[in-house]
Amino acid sequence: MAKIVLTADRTLMSPYRGISLATFFGCAPAVDPHRPKNSFWYYILKDQVTPKVLFDFICNPIGHKNGIANYAPYGLRKVEAALLRDGYKRNEVVVAHPDHVDKFIGPETEVVGTYEMDPLGMGPVTMTFTYGRKQTSYDEFYNRDLHMKINAAKKKNGSHAKVIAGASGTWQYNYDPKKIQEYGLYAVLEGELGGIAPEIDGHAGEFFNKLIAGDFENMNPFVKSDFKVEVKEFGKDENKFHGRFIHYWDEPDVESIPNIVEPSMHGMVEVMRGCGRGCKFCDVTLRPLRYYSPEKVKQEIEVNIKKGGQRNAWLHSDDIFVYGLDPRKTKNMAPNRDALEELFKAVMSCGIEHTNPTHGTLAGAIADEKLLPNLSKIIKSGPNNKTGVQCGFETGSLRLIGKYADRKLAPYKPEEWHWVVKEGVKTLNENHWIPAFTLIMGLDNAETEEDGWDTIRLINELELEQPESQFTVTPLTFVPIGLLEKSEFFDIGNELTAPQLGVMYKTWQHNFKYGIQKFMDKTGSNNTLKKKAFTGLARTLGGVPLTAMEKYARRKGPEHERVIETIKAKYW
C-alpha cells in the first residue's frame, strides 16, 4: 500500500510494440452503442468497432515489477520526481501499472492521481475518428476501465483516498461533467489560463500537502493563494450534482522543474516549454518559452538508458525550431542554429541510436538553409533512418491561415503559405525527415466550402509537383481551446459538409497510397520485423476507411457523392 498512488490508463501505458505512429491508435473507435442489433456487423462483432483483440495486441501492456510500472508517461514521471524532491519518501509514492493499481490502494492511501490526456475522447483526432463521440474511443473506454478498477479497489480495501484527475485532458470534464460523478472524482486539476495543463511539477509537494490536509474543502477565495477552488453545479432538480475544479497557474523556471528519476514511455524527454508562434487555436501559445539546457536533457536521457534500457530519445517540444531563441527579440522567428546543433550533439553523445523531435513548424524548418542539413548529419538521418516530426498543415486556405495562424509562418507571410508547405516538404524530405501533418476541419466553425477545396487542391499539388514526396496528413475536428475556448465544438457527426468529407477522403487516400505503401516502415526505431508486421497489417486494412466514406457519401446524397467522384477524377 502507498500514501500516494499515481497511474494512467492502458492507452498511455503501452509501448505500442515500438511503432511510433501506433500511439494514435487509442483514438480509434472501440464501441458503437447505436449499431443495429439486426446488422451483419453486430452479428460478427456485437458493438465493437475496432476489434478489441486487435487493439489489445497492438496496444500491448508495459512490464511491471510487483505492480510498479517499468515505464510511465513523461508528465507522470515529472510529478513523481517532484514529490520525491519535495519530501515524500520513495515507499510513499508509487507509479502503478493500471492492471495492478488495486495492490497499492488501502486504508493508508491518501490520494490516487490519474494522468489523463484524452479521458472522454474529445481530443481532435478522437473526435474525428468517432464522428464526434457518436462512438466510444479506446481512450475513453480504458480511462473508464481504470476508474472502475480504482473505485472497486477503494471499496474492497476500505480506502477513502481522494481521486484526482490531472494532465492536459482534464478540460474535457467541463463538457461531460456526469463522468465526475460516475468516476467518483474528488477534484479535477486544471490550469488557470485557457484550460491548459497546470505545471504542477514546480510545486507538487505543496499541492499534495494541501490536498491531503483538506485545504481544498472550503478554501477562501479572498485569501491569496497559488490555488483556486471552483465548485461548479451541474444538472437540475433531483439530478443536480457538483464538481470540484482546482485551478493552478505557475510558470516555474527551469531550475524548479525536476528531472525524471525513472524511465518514461517511448524514451520521451522534454527540451522546452511554450512556443511563441501565437496560433489562436492552440493552448500551447499561452505558455511562456523556457528551454532546458543540453546538460539537463542529457541527464534525463541517461535515466532512460540506465534504468529503462532505451536506445532512442523522443524530444518533446511544441516547436523544436524555436529552441533557444527569444521571440520578443527575434521578430522574424529565425531559428537559433547554434543552440539547436548544441542540443542535438548533446543528445547523440548519450549513445542513443535514434532521436526525433515531436513537433516543428514548416517555416522554422526552411528559414535557415543550413539548419536541416546540419541537424540531419548530427542525428544520422538517412534513407533507412528517417526522422519523423509532427507539423501543422492546418488548412490550404490562405484566408484562414492569415486569420488564425499568421505567426506560424514567420518569417514568411500568410499569402506565401502554399509555397511554405511545398518548400517545407521538399526540404524535410531531402534531409530524410518525414512530416506528419495535422489539419483542422471546421476551424472556429468559420470554414467555407471553398476553404475545404483549397485544402484538397494543395495536397494534390504536392503529389503532382513532388511525386516522390513523403508525408502524411491527418484531419482533426476543431476543438475550442487556446484563444478560441469560447467557441463551439465542430460537430463532425452532424455538420460534415460535402467538401469536408472530401478533405477526409483525400487525406486518407494520400496516407494509404503514399504513406502506408511507401515509407511507414522506414520511420522510428530500428526493429524492422515489428515495423514490417505493423505495415503489413495497415496495408491489409488501409482501404477500409475509403470504402466506408464512399458508403457514407451515398447515404448523405448526390452532393456528397459528387465530391468523392470529383476527387477520384481530378485529384487522385
> Is residue 529 scored above 70 in pLDDT?
no
Nearest to 13 by CA among 79, 61, 68: 61
Q: How far apart are CA 132 and CA 124, in angstroms?
A: 9
Check residue 106 and give its pLDDT. 96
The one-letter code for the residue type at 126 is T
Check residue 198 and give its pLDDT. 80
What's the pLDDT tens digit per position in 52-103? 998 999 999 999 999 999 999 999 999 999 999 999 999 999 999 999 999 9
Mean of the per-residue pLDDT values of the chain: 91
> Is residue 523 scored above 80 in pLDDT?
no
Q: Are 287 and 273 in contact (CB under 8 A)?
A: yes
Check residue 22 and give its pLDDT. 82
> Is residue 30 scored above 90 in pLDDT?
yes
Check residue 38 and give its pLDDT. 86
> Is residue 537 scored above 70 in pLDDT?
no
Check residue 196 and give its pLDDT. 65
Contacts of 154 (CB under 8 A, 6+ apart): 105, 112, 160, 161, 163
Q: Are 150 and 112 in contact (CB under 8 A)?
A: yes
What's the pLDDT tens digit per position in 350-397? 999 999 999 999 999 999 999 999 999 999 999 989 999 999 999 999
Q: How far apart are CA 247 and CA 257, in angstroms?
A: 19
Q: How far apart are CA 180 and CA 400, in angstroms?
A: 36
In the sheet that holds 241-248, the strands lie side by side as 93-95, 4-8, 111-115, 162-166, 187-191, 241-248, 227-234
Tell me the domains of the chain and their CATH numbers. 4-254 (no CATH), 266-490 (3.80.30.20), 498-505+516-571 (no CATH)
What's the pLDDT tens digit per position in 145-191? 999 999 999 999 999 999 999 998 999 999 999 999 999 999 999 87
The length of the chain in residues reads: 572
Q: How far apart are CA 154 and CA 509, in angstroms?
A: 48
> Is residue 546 scored above 90 in pLDDT?
no
> Is residue 221 scored above 80 in pLDDT?
no
Instruction: Indicate the pLDDT class of residue 288, thresholds 50, 70 and 90.
Output: confident
> Is residue 195 scored above 70 in pLDDT?
no
Cα end-to-end span (Å), the chain: 59
> Is residue 413 scored above 60 in pLDDT?
yes
Percent of the chain residues past pLDDT 70, beyond the cut: 93
Q: How far apart are CA 271 and CA 322, in angstroms?
A: 11
Residue with cell 526540404: 427
Check residue 197 and give its pLDDT. 72
Q: How far apart are CA 263 and CA 310, in angstroms?
A: 9
